[in-house]
Structure 1
Amino acid sequence: MSAPSSGARKRPPQKKTVRKVVRRPSLLAKLRSYFLAGILVTAPGGLTLYVAWLFVTFVDGQVGAILPPRYSPSTYLNFDIPGFGVLVLLVTLTAIGALAAGLVGKLMLRWGESILNRMPVIRGIYSALKQLFETVLSNQSSAFRQCVLVEYPRRGIWALGFISGVTEGEVQDLTAEEVVNVFLPTTPNPTSGFLLFVPRSDVIVLSMTVEEGIKMVISGGIVVPPDRRPKDVRKVKLASAAVSEGKALNPTAASPRPHRAQTDTAES
């Protein structure tokens, strides 16, 4: 046999193909994912129905304790009708509203208010509650119509709040700038919070709705609403007042300019 010539080409080494082994999830992992998916699907609806059931049960119990037995359907049917107390409450409130809209109802309402206004402690509570309900239930009210950002509790830290109106009276007269009323809710209970009087120039209006802002407060920031601003506006970053002051002291320091949006507090 002839020896191989030195000029013969050597075959390149063949590359070994490495096969990726895809591990399938175990049965326990699948059951866990199915269980979490079941909670995610049923929890919101189940909790909503549970809260509604508690409300209906509470109203039925309170109305049933006041309603005479001869007007209760359980006296004749030997079983309770869920929601009957809620129906009675709705009919009663509607009848009272219709009566108050008439001439006789207005006279009776003025007479009752004149009696309450003569009581030292009760008149303050009544006037505050009346003004609160008129503000919340009025269709022309601008309360809680905008979700805003304010610097709180110090400069450089942003907090989520809601505009509840334009500041008037003594508070506005004593301030150098035009200020607005901002309600700063607490987490996870948005019914409590702080009332801040913030200059209009320091209030930043957000594109999210009030409902989305409340969801974000209740969830502690877990539920984040989508950003509906245009893409060119998203590039503009906010700068706190502390950064602006630092730039004024050090002109060479580079910092983004603050972008302040004007609040729309005009009553519709």
Structure 2
Amino acid sequence: MKKYFITGLLVWLPLAITIWVLLWVIGLFDGVFAWLVSAVQAVAPASVGAALGRLRDVPGLGVLLVTGGMLMTGVFVANIFGQWWLTQWERLLSKIPIVKSIYSSVKQVSDTLFSSSGNAFREAVLIQYPRQGSWTIAFVTGQPGGEVAQHLNPRDYLSVYVPTTPNPTSGFFLMLPRADVIELKMSVDEALKYTISMGVVAPPAILDSDARPLVELPRNPQG
């Protein structure tokens, strides 16, 4: 009975988690749409507010409208006119106390992570953490910058993010010598699956006769 139960669980568990994630995303978008409808209802006439209220009860409509709004925003800011308005909007936010600190920080992080020209989270590497002899997967986020670059030469050091398991949204930020980092040929998606599954879902091995570790571990003279 235990064997059959586990077999059935392995069949339904991935589907259940997939449905749960999709429902969470739909609920998030519907929540954003509901907030926008409430904001419009506060300033719009009663007839318009009543019509919007009926739209808010349509399940999944928020996903379509919010997604469409993001696409339209992307098309709008992709031209010179849209860039000008975006600059004015950011200039306005930069003059509001507290808001400017939060907005500028989030924008810098998002631009670094999601920019097509950036190098953040484009490469998975192998490092020794939290002590020598213990290995874990990390993701390159760039090079030391600012004041740190005055103490750590960016040509000799890398900035990496070490995710926790099984929740990769939390982790540790490290700056390591390039010589202590082993480059991996696996994709970022494969590395994330490997980390989230706690090593159960291993990516296929890539045979490379020329590959050699960048970190030479000391040999044990007695071994």
Task: Report the TM-score range of the alignment, normalised by the length of the smaller protein.
Answer: 0.7 to 0.9
Q: Which amino acid aligns with 2:14?
A: P
Instruction: Provide the C-alpha distance between the structure 2 equivalents of 1:157 and 1:65, rounded to a whole number of angstroms.
Output: 47
Instruction: Provide the C-alpha distance between the structure 2 equivalents of 1:91 and 1:55, rounded to a whole number of angstroms.
Output: 15
Offset at residue 239 of structure 1 (A): 6.1
Report the RMSD for the aligned CA atoms in angstroms.
2.8
Instruction: Provide the C-alpha distance between the structure 1 equivalents of 2:172 and 2:35, rounded to a whole number of angstroms.
Output: 38
1:124-139 matches, within 5 Å, as 124-139=101-116
TM-score (norm 2): 0.79
Report which of the two structures shows the higher radius of gyration computed on alpha carbons.
1
TM-score (norm 1): 0.68
Offset at residue 34 of structure 1 (A): 2.7
Counterpart in 2 of 1:32?
Answer: 2
Question: What's the secondary structure of 2:15's corresponding residue?
Answer: helix
Give a deviation string over 1:70-96, Cα, whole Å, max 9, x none. Answer: 246659xxxx54321111101222222
Of the three residues 163, 188, 204, the one matched with 2:140 is: 163
Counterpart in 2 of 1:123?
Answer: 100
Counterpart in 1 of 2:82?
Answer: 105
CA distance change for structure 1 residues 71 and 102 in 2, over 3 Å: closer, same or farther?
farther
5+ residue gaps, structure 2: 38-48
Q: Does 1:55 align with 2:36?
A: no
Instruction: Provide the C-alpha distance between the structure 1 equivalents of 2:51 and 2:213, rounded to a whole number of angstroms.
Output: 68
Check whether the contact 2:34–2:62 (CA below 8 A) recurs between aligned residues.
Answer: yes
CA distance change for structure 1 residues 139 and 203 in 2, over 3 Å: closer, same or farther?
same
Offset at residue 181 of structure 1 (A): 1.0
Instruction: Provide the C-alpha distance between the structure 2 equivalents of 1:99 and 1:121, rounded to a whole number of angstroms.
Output: 28
5+ residue gaps, structure 1: 1-30, 248-252, 256-268
Counterpart in 2 of 1:215?
Answer: 193
Offset at residue 180 of structure 1 (A): 1.0
Fraction of identical pairs, as percent = 35
1:68-217 matches, within 5 Å, as 68-71=49-52, 74=55, 80-175=57-152, 178-217=156-195
Q: How many residues align?
A: 211
CA distance change for structure 1 residues 209 and 254 in 2, over 3 Å: closer, same or farther?
farther
